[in-house]
């Protein structure tokens, strides 16, 4: 599996559920997963974890800076690996796939607008909800 250094440095013991969750994000197919997604995938792999543990681990990883929590529509929190870079998201309304993008011009304008209104940006979140224009949505679930 993987080295538990990340966990160590975060003051977290290297346990099976934690290693498995980390592995899912590092080597899984989807980069953006909800607690339910993680839980189901672990059960599917024959792991015997509780949903509560998944929630606890995800929250701990978020606080440790290993994961980032996103608030898309739909009431569920979605997590992804914290790669250190900032990016925004475009969510396909047809299949739910999440694509990432970064646009310097948008960031610059945000800075300008905020400054103009007398604010100092600390963080921001931008999601675009869209339909895929290709004949077949390439990201069917």
How many angstroms separate the CA atoms of 104 and 26, rounded? 27
User: 46 contacts which partner out of a second copy, DNA, none, CB within 5 to 8 A by kind?
Assistant: none
CA dist list (Å): 123 to 58, 72, 88, 111, 134:
21, 16, 12, 11, 33
Pick out residues in 53-82 that bind a second copy (CB under 8 A).
71-73, 75
Contacting DNA (CB under 7 A), which of 3, 15, 45, 63? 15
- Residue 13 in the binding site for DNA (CB under 7 A): yes
Give the x/- contact pattern for a second copy in 82-101, rule: CB under 8 A. Answer: --------x-xx-----x-x
Rounded to 5 degrees, what are φ and ψ at 113? -60, -50
Q: Quick check: 1 binds a second copy (CB under 8 A)? A: no
């Amino acid at each position: 599996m993987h080295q538990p250094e990340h966990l160590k440095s975060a003051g977290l013991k290297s346990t099976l559920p934690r290693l498995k969750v980390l592995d899912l994000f590092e080597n899984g197919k989807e980069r953006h997963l909800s607690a339910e997604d993680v839980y189901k995938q672990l059960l599917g792999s024959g792991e015997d974890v509780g949903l509560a543990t998944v929630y606890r681990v995800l929250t701990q990883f978020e606080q440790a800076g290993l994961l980032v929590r996103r608030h898309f529509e739909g009431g569920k929190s979605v997590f992804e690996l914290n790669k250190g870079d900032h990016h925004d998201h475009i969510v396909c309304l047809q299949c739910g796939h999440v694509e990432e993008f970064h646009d310097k011009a948008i960031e610059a304008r945000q800075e300008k607008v905020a400054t103009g209104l007398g604010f100092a940006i600390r963080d921001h979140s931008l999601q675009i909800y869209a339909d895929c224009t290709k004949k077949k949505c390439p990201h069917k679930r």
